[in-house]
A and B are shown apart, each in its own frame.
Chain A
Amino acid sequence: MFFSAAIRRRPEFRAGIRDMSSAALGIGAWGLMTGVAMVKSNMSVLESVAMTLLVYAGSSQLAAIPLLFAGAPAWVILATGFCVNLRFVVFSLHLRPYLMHMPRWRRMTHGYLTADLSYALFTRRYASPPVGADEQKAQEAYLTGNYFVTWCSWMGMSLLGIALANFIPQNWGLGFAGVLSLVAIVCSMATTPLRVLAALIASVTAVAAYALPLKLNIVVAIGAAVLLCFWLEKQFGLDPDAEDNK
């Protein structure tokens, strides 16, 4: 955590800040639009601030907004948030050997604050887990500096977006920028032909099954896409392990 002076004093902390700062603008802009999108879809300022400060996950926030607005049941919203966040489950498997020497609360704090870009930069700089106490501290300081920038720019700009949203007329439709950032995230996840197909099947299913109660169309869409892709995987005789690396 960046509250610890012992971490802040290390040069790796500053290196982490430096490496991440070039991305801060993009993260900030996305945070700004997420802030605007929350208020524009009828969340109260208190709810928007709480979501920004607590959830700290842009794509699952943006996915939850229309579901909240439509009055979907809690479990559907949480299940959708979980599915949108599934990539982090894979990241956590990768990060495990880097963090396991720490006590649980400490590694969980690091885990909570490590978003996509921090994970990418950290694992690019340190291809293997730390050996020895000094290396452990160095890596921890770099990771901390890294997500310190992400956290500050995301939080600052999201809160700014919440503050400014009420001064922007509703009919400008700026909340649509949130949907567009999700389009980018879907594209970044659809890295193989079958994953593109999964996204397409889910889109069509979610629209076709829209009349289902409780927003179950999202759940049906995920189920249909995953099952159909399982089946196609078998038909084409694809190797799941090889697909992993794409």
Chain B
Amino acid sequence: MSGTTDFWTLAVIAGLACVTVLTRCFFFILDRPWGLPEWAHRALHYAPAAALAGVIAPEIVMTQGHLITTLHDARLYAAVVGAAYYYWRRGVLGTMLAGMAVYLPLHLGLGW
């Protein structure tokens, strides 16, 4: 079930660890104070949400590289319910549980 370990993946993982350090410490790695250029500052408003949405949208509406053509797909309803729960109550845990409560019966019960 689980794949094989390869060096490339481990190298990417090490790179991602560096990204974590770089982003979490961005403004206090150097001793000298400094700021971001104006355009980068403005991009910060939109880039994080855009990056994540760009990653997850294909995970929800595509199968094997193609847009799904049926509404009989548990992922659609789970994502909508999860998002609705988030705006209602907040919290990652609740969103996950609410979404899975919709996903699992549809996926396992109806085979969607």
Contact = CB atoms under 8 A, between A and B. Distances in A.
A183 B83 contact: yes
A47 B5 contact: yes
A177 interface: yes
Contact of A180 (B19, B61, B100): B100
Contact of B52 (A63, A89, A243): A63
Nearest to A240: B42
A237 B58 CA distance: 33
Interface residues of B, number: 74
Contacts of A199: 49-50, 52-53
A35 to B, nearest CB: 12
Q: With a 10 A CB-CB cut-off, give which of A29, A82, A87 has the most chain B CB atoms.
A: A82
Interface in A25-84: 25-26, 29-30, 33, 39, 42-48, 50-51, 54-57, 59-61, 63-64, 66-68, 74, 77-78, 80-84
28 contacts: A29-B93, A43-B2, A47-B9, A48-B2, A57-B16, A78-B19, A81-B16, A82-B22, A88-B24, A89-B44, A92-B27, A93-B27, A95-B27, A96-B28, A104-B29, A176-B78, A176-B100, A177-B96, A179-B60, A180-B78, A180-B99, A183-B79, A186-B49, A206-B54, A210-B62, A218-B54, A222-B54, A225-B54
A151 interface: no
B51 A111 contact: no
A39 B46 contact: no
B50 A179 contact: no
- State the majority secondary structure of interface residues on B: helix
Q: With a 10 A CB-CB cut-off, give which of B2, B11, B45, B54 has the most chain A CB atoms.
A: B54
A90 B44 contact: yes
A101 to B, nearest CB: 11
A131 interface: no
Nearest to A241: B41
A183 to B, nearest CB: 5
B29 A85 contact: no
Given A61-B16, A184-B95, 15 more contacts: A44-B4, A47-B5, A48-B2, A77-B16, A81-B19, A83-B50, A86-B23, A86-B47, A92-B26, A111-B24, A111-B25, A166-B1, A180-B82, A187-B83, A230-B43
A1 interface: no
